[in-house]
Chain A
């Protein structure tokens, strides 16, 4: 299982890094989020990365993540290689997981590249390391959840643009759902709030890690990977 998964991961990583697309996406994400962050960093005068890690990057990820994932399955469907894939002696889970891990690696690289900000705030003052750890952990889980959603969106269509747009819509729905809680009665509002990624993210961004938030993210990731597997399987029945 592991070797098969790893084979897919390596293959996808090669595709990412052999084309200019990945580099362009990463550079754009870094430059845009960095630019936005520095708009008021010196004015706010605090050694915190919170506006970047919990404000701008999640916003940039809204577009960045679908751009990474849109190709993953849709391309195979378009070019017909998916027929080949499903006849290989590998399970659908191995295919999906392999592709997912490749996109996760790309996300990881992007996030690691922002570590220059940790150095910066450490040089300029005394930041709260625990809070930064929580923010990075939260950002990674948020990105990982988005990627699972993006992968699912890529699995339901052979058109990359459709996959991209569907991913943005679903991610935005989970990103914004807690903004609408004031319009719902109490118990329903609590459910919506729990469903939204933001509530859990805000919680972690303080530097407090709660098993409930971890469970939420892992459940979301599992659910959408499962749905992606189902989307891939569905080819077999046609």
Chain B
């Protein structure tokens, strides 16, 4: 008995040691379970127990079943690195009678097509996830694609486990709209997650270091030399900027538009960003209501308006445009992507115009009645928004410093750390009057999230799709053959081998017996 206990004790110790020193090999194609170093660090540094509740219906139809599998598997991986600090529960809200609980977490029931008894039926399912930590919770209400799952789970964990709230600044003083007028909707949405405050650049004062992300939305008045300096040094110190700029100013009252000069062009050019002074026209657009007169009768009609492009072409791999529908831009310009070359900055378009679009330069004709022909839309995929990532160089490496008005200036930062910005060639799409399109708001919030997130989250890579479908052209006959070949094929092999062995033994026994008799 003592020996048994001793062996058991040794095995327990060996396994406990194994928990401390382990190795982990991911053999899957594309190493789909391997977590980024950042996620591993987040999991290792958990200081209290985190609970992940997966609200997933059992027996989801394809292709969601593969997602469910992958999400569970990925959670095992998180757990493996949590040092016992992560628990996870799998709940089928319908089966477990927890629909109220799911609803309480804003995880909705959704309808999907399912084949049951060879009939296509609508099935009510849940595909959500909640991360609970102390008294905080984060929810991924509907997981339809697993491409960016690690990013989403890790950022949810990061959000519930960190207390610091990022401060987002709205630049003011150059005719930008404020939270009180025109940005009401987005300000309210931002305040759920961020501390939002207006930022006015005072002469002689740099932008407050508390501001993590600065949003420059549709300025119409020129930037002073010192404003430029403050912006440049904000970026050089690692501040994140979202530029939402209108190179062409449209006056809706007079129905006129003209190119706008607000001194930002040369600053942006140093960072590799150039906005074209033009308006994009697109065959994919939002319609507008116009008054028309025909034969003395005035009536309202709805017409296509190519100057209100609806963008549906995105960089699918980018987190900002992931899962977005159609963004509607009320007048939008474009981005010149060639300017970033040789600057060490990676400028990546994230939103494009449609397959049939064109450019209009001054003088602009805005009237909805303007007639267009297909020849007016010769271009495809004109970049409308882009991200810029890299080490940006200061504007003042090539330009003289401005007068600070104070005599002494803080030491000039000539290069930024690895930094990122987003530029959209429109400063209107997120305003209250455009907020009727929820995709516009989602796009805007995604930009702010992307700018404000922890640096480590950016390093999380997207995964290839985990769905590996069967050949869809398979006939019923082929299915039948594959099925029975697999069920009975190997079994028949075993039986045949058994019979052969049996016959051989009988034959051998007979020959042995015969040999015996001869003797």
Q: Tell me the A residues contacting B by CB distance below 8 Å.
A: 17-18, 20, 23, 26-27, 30-31, 34-35, 38, 41-48, 50, 113-114, 116-117, 120-121, 124-131, 133-134, 182, 186, 190, 194, 202-203, 206-212, 215-216, 219, 222-223, 226-227, 230
Contacts and interface: CB of A to CB of B under 8 A. Distances in A.
Contacts of A27: 491, 494-495
Contacts of B482: 120, 124
Nearest to B118: A43
A30 B491 contact: yes
Interface stretch (B62-70, B153-161, B196-204, B250-258): B62-70
B27 A208 contact: yes
Contacts of A134: 27-28
B209 to A, nearest CB: 42
A125 B29 CA distance: 14
Contacts of A211: 18, 21-24
Given A46-B62, A47-B470, A125-B469, A34 B49 contact: no
B397 interface: no
Given A206-B28, A206-B76, A216-B15, A23 B470 contact: no
Nearest to B467: A46
A228 to B, nearest CB: 12
Contacts of B115: 43
Contact of A215 (B18, B49, B493): B18
Given A31-B487, A46-B470, A116-B486, A208 B24 contact: yes
B175 interface: no
B402 interface: no
A23 B487 CA distance: 15
B3 interface: yes
Interface stretch (B4-12, B271-279, B286-294, B430-438): B4-12
The residue in B27, B472, B483 that gathers the most chain A C-beta atoms within 10 A of its C-beta is: B27
B18 A128 contact: no
Contacts of B474: 42, 124
A50 B66 CA distance: 11
B477 to A, nearest CB: 12
Size category of the binding interface on chain B: 35 or more
Contacts of A114: 490
A100 B498 CA distance: 22
Interface of B: 3-4, 7-8, 11, 14-15, 18-19, 21-29, 33, 49, 62-63, 65-66, 69, 73, 76-77, 80, 84, 87, 89, 115, 467-472, 474, 479, 482-483, 485-491, 493-495, 497-498, 501, 505
A223 B73 contact: no
A127 B468 contact: yes
Contacts of A215: 14-15, 18
A47 to B, nearest CB: 5
Contact of A186 (B8, B62, B87, B479): B87
A48 B468 contact: yes
B501 A128 contact: no
A159 B377 CA distance: 87
A210 B80 contact: yes
Contacts of A47: 468-470
Contacts of B479: 42
A43 B64 CA distance: 13
A46 B27 contact: no
Contacts of B505: 18
B27 A130 contact: yes
Contact of A203 (B7, B76, B84, B487): B76
A61 to B, nearest CB: 16
Given A116-B490, A230-B4, 10 more contacts: A47-B469, A113-B493, A202-B76, A206-B76, A208-B25, A208-B76, A208-B77, A209-B24, A212-B19, A226-B7
B468 A219 contact: no
B80 to A, nearest CB: 7
Contacts of A26: 491, 494
B471 A38 contact: no
B74 to A, nearest CB: 9
A117 B483 CA distance: 10
Contacts of B493: 113
B18 A126 contact: no
Q: Shortest 9 CB-CB distances between A and B: which pairs?
A: A130-B27, A34-B487, A113-B490, A207-B28, A23-B498, A215-B18, A130-B28, A206-B73, A211-B23
Contacts of A41: 483
A45 B18 contact: no
6 contacts: A26-B494, A129-B29, A207-B26, A210-B23, A210-B25, A211-B23
